[in-house]
Copies of this chain bind each other. A is one copy, B any other.
Amino acid sequence: MEDQIMDAASSSGRTENDTLFDAPPMAEQERMVEAVLFASAEPVTLRDLEGRMPPGCNPREALEHLRKRYEGRGVRVVRLGDAWAIRTAPDLGFLMQKETTELRKLSRAAIETLAIVAYHQPVTRAEIEEIRGVSVSRGTIDQLMEMDWIRLGRRRMTPGRPVTFVVTPDFLDHFGLESARDLPGLKELRAAGLLENRPPPGSLPLGQGGDEDDEAEEQAELFEE
């Protein structure tokens, strides 16, 4: 069918009209209209199409072909006032639900808490508070759990048997990590220029003192494959 249109366009060009002589075949014009409608952020007017396409093109005809081609497909060529656009077929609207999610930046408290869980897991709430230097609100933890980025780990075998938090596979997925072990350490962050400031020379090492051995052991367990 395209061949027929192409022939018609080029033969009419050859015989009747000098400006049409150099115009691309209709199939090519249809491709152009298709690409422009797809990539444009707004519906495109005929005049706009004419302005963009090579001289001698007939966007109206190309649009008609394109509209026919998309009949019954998952998307349609629709006319909106004097402009044209490609739109999802109305019966498939149910597939578009995901497009309506609103993205919001995570709060500073949440991202800091998340970072501490990622780097120190399994970590208790008290430990998170000690590292951040401020208390962690219930809501922050709840939010991160609801997002399925952190979950409860094993209880710590210390008095009170506090619950611990670890990151989830969803977290790894979202941040494009193979495992939490792949997070760069402070030295690596600094080397990569991710730390704006440098510590004064001779400052103490950054590691938390205390029961590091204990923790390291537990971490090793957690990170084993």
Contacts and interface: CB of A to CB of B under 8 A. Distances in A.
Interface of A: 30-36, 38-41, 48, 52-53, 72-75, 86, 88-89, 92, 95-99, 125, 137-142, 151-155, 161-164, 168, 176-179, 181-184, 188, 191-194
Contact of A30 (B34, B74, B86, B182): B74
Contacts of A142: 192-194
Given A31-B73, A38-B38, 19 more contacts: A31-B74, A32-B74, A33-B74, A34-B74, A35-B95, A36-B95, A36-B96, A38-B74, A38-B86, A39-B88, A41-B99, A125-B188, A151-B176, A152-B176, A152-B178, A153-B182, A154-B178, A163-B184, A163-B188
Ranked nearest first, the 10 interchain pairs of A and B with the lowest CB-CB distance are A34-B74, A138-B193, A31-B74, A35-B74, A35-B88, A35-B92, A154-B178, A151-B176, A38-B75, A139-B193
A28 to B, nearest CB: 9
A40 B154 contact: no
A194 B178 CA distance: 27
A39 B192 contact: no
A200 B214 CA distance: 38
